[in-house]
A and B are shown apart, each in its own frame.
Chain A
Amino acid sequence: MANESGVLVVAETADGAVAGITLEVLGAARRLADKLGQPVQAALLGQGVEPLAQGLIAAGADKVYVVDQPILAEYQTDAFVPAIEKVCREANPSIVLLGQTDIGRDLGPRLAFRLGTAVAMDCLDLAIGDGRLVMTRACYGGNANAQHTCKTMPQMATVRVKSQEPLAPDTSRQGQVTKVAVDIDPAAVRTKITGRRKEEAEGIRLEDAEVIVGGGRGVGSAEGFQTLTELADLMKGAVGSTRAACDAGFCSVATQIGLTGKVVSPALYIAVGISGASQHMAGLSGAKNIVAINKDPEANVFRYCRYGIVSDWKAVIPTFLNKVRQLKAG
């Protein structure tokens, strides 16, 4: 292939609407495409998804390729890979972007392989340098950043959740919608999904919470997490955790924030008994104000904080909780 042009976004849907991450990636795509003087394309795969194409145009796409077939109702690798491959060959983009989501992590590497190119995963920043896509991603658990360019076309990246600003939606934007038919042999789908179990923490979703109380291994017990839950509830926020706390059985894996957990962007994150290992802090790249309580004055977490208290959390949180309750009542 040659004469590649366009920044193509692989769109995701959630609960019958365009997923938030897709709006963010479209924002990035628009900014990159404008620098290159190329169009923004979107690939919309699913069943009954065609009505969502206009929303993608409002969010920045100039052209939407729709593959709307029953076999795409739920994400399955062996159905989605040939479908997105066909769209890419038809669109011939210079850049393909996906979200760093369950789907992006699965589809990105395989699509890159099928297209004879490579993909940079979980990018924090995307820019154009000398006409090429410059991709910045975290590595070594978040201790370092790596900057990459790709020698082959299309250049591919998955984008970290909440790292890019979406455009303000503009329903007056015009664009083209093209339907693509893909021959997908059901027998070629090698994996069978036999069960699914949602494990979401009750109350506010971590990804949407403006206030999060996070607990680490230093919390010491599941009972300790109950105190954190009381505080989070009081502040109308959510409870988060580190991988270490989850591995120790203090809390549900649904609360895990970090490199292999959720990425959050609260206005306030209160880190309790958290050392601040880079793998955890990687999930807090969007947090605006971080406050930490930790026994160790040298704890890594304090490098990220606005306020800190060096103390065993049990000597601080109960009083803090009561004071917050007072302030909210008065």
Chain B
Amino acid sequence: MLHMICCVKQVPDPEAPASQFKVDEAAKKVLPIPGVDPVADEYAVRGVEAALRIREALGEAKITILTLGPEAARDAVKKALAMGADEGVQLTDKAFEDGDSFATARALAAAIKKLEPFDLVFCGRQAPDWDVGVTPSVIAELLGVPCVTRACDVKVSDGTLTVERVLMDGFETVEVRLPAVVTISNELGEPRYPQLREIMAAARKPVAVWSAADLGLDPSQVGAAGSVLSLDRLYVPVHEAKCEFIEGETMEEAAEKLAAKLREAKLI
């Protein structure tokens, strides 16, 4: 039976208004916004959706959800289980915290090895917190498998994966033999929303919690200790533009004034 592992990440809600976004510069951390819960990374959730579509096409498959994060990351796992995944694995350990993509990939790859055999690993194309998009390629390097990025469609047939990828100026179709890592882009489409019944069933699905020791990793190999890219500063850039609001007796008048101003500024 095909075994697919979907990496998901819990992140601050990217839909929260920019005006509420604040950083603690001394701690180099983003401040949680009161009343705004973290969410499961929407690209990674589409990875779960891709896995579910493959299972539907094949008739059966095992889907494991994998996350690296604090205790609260359990919510991201539960959401994916409610969508239809079978079981979860949570990597929670102080040693895993504040890693760069390479250190984080080391932990995730070790967990994936422990979950062998596997055929497919799904990740989001980039997590909406750090927006880096490196971890999946490094997981693939560590596992010695190919990585196909920015997929908007994924099909499996007889051990071959056919992926439609999003490029800057179009699309590309790629074939690769399993096992492989695939990253998913938003063009895959809307992920399914679990019904209440499935949410309740998810509570009964098993979620294992593993530490660095469980993965046979020394703390110096993961997290901040295992990182070579250091975060020296985190800050909110200031946008200096002073917007001139154009008004009028009617919106039509405002529209004409705007055109006139842009002509004056030689922009038309």
B176 contacts the other chain (Cβ, under 8 Å)? yes
B255 in contact with A320 (CB, 8 Å): yes
Residues of B within 8 A of A109 (CB): 101, 133-134, 137-138
Q: How far is the CA of A113 from the CA of B135 in the complex (A)?
A: 11
Instruction: Tell yes or no: A120 within 8 A of B by CB.
Output: yes
Is A13 an interface residue, CB under 8 A from the partner?
Answer: no
**Which of B48-56, B88-96, B206-214, B258-266 forms contacts with chain A?**
B258-266
* Number of CB contacts from chain A to chain B under 8 A: 235
A268 vs B266: C-alpha distance when bound (angstroms)? 10
Residues in chain B near residue A119, CB distance under 8 A: 134, 229
Given A118-B229, A193-B172, A253-B187, A307-B14 contact (CB < 8 Å): no
Q: 1/0 contact trace for A256-271 toward B, CB 8 Å?
A: 0001101000011000
Q: Which of B131, B162, B268 contacts A235 (CB 8 A)?
A: B268
| Pair A316/B137 contact, Cβ less than 8 Å | no
A147-B232, A148-B229, A306-B241 as given contacts; A190 in contact with B255, CB under 8 Å? no
Given A113-B102, A191-B146, A290-B241, residue A308 in contact with residue B235 (CB < 8 A): no
CA distance A81 to B247 in the complex (A): 56
User: Which residue among B129, B134, B177, B229 has the maximum number of chain A CB atoms within 10 Å of its CB?
Assistant: B229
Q: Which residues of B contact A105 (CB under 8 A)?
A: 133, 149
Whether, in the assembled complex, B67 has its beta carbon less than 8 Å from a beta carbon of chain A, the answer is no
Q: Is the CB of A268 within 8 A of B239?
A: no
B186 at the interface (CB under 8 A from A): yes
Give, as a whole number of angstroms, the nearest-CB distance from A281 to chain B: 8
A118 touches B169 (CB 8 A): no
In the complex, how many angstroms separate the beta carbon of B25 from the nearest chain A beta carbon? 10
User: Closest residue of chain B to A121, judged by CB?
Assistant: B132
Chain B binding site: helix, strand, loop or mixed by DSSP?
A: mixed
Per the CB 8 Å criterion, the residue count for chain A at the interface is 87
Complex Cα distance, B133 from A150, in Å, reads: 18
Contact of B58 with A by CB under 8 A: no
**Binding-face segment, B15-23, B111-119, B215-223:** B15-23
- B267 lies within 8 A of chain A by Cβ: yes
Is the Cβ of A102 less than 8 Å from the Cβ of B176? no
A311 nearest in chain B by CB position: B251
Does A2 reach chain B (CB closer than 8 Å)?
no
- Starting from the known contacts A110-B138, A150-B229, 15 additional A-B residue pairs (CB-CB under 8 Å) come to A106-B149, A118-B227, A120-B229, A138-B131, A139-B132, A141-B131, A146-B234, A149-B230, A196-B172, A262-B168, A309-B251, A309-B254, A316-B255, A317-B255, A320-B256
20 contacts between A and B (CB under 8 A): A109-B133, A113-B102, A114-B141, A117-B228, A118-B229, A140-B12, A141-B131, A144-B236, A145-B235, A147-B232, A190-B176, A194-B173, A195-B172, A235-B268, A291-B258, A292-B243, A300-B18, A303-B241, A309-B251, A317-B255
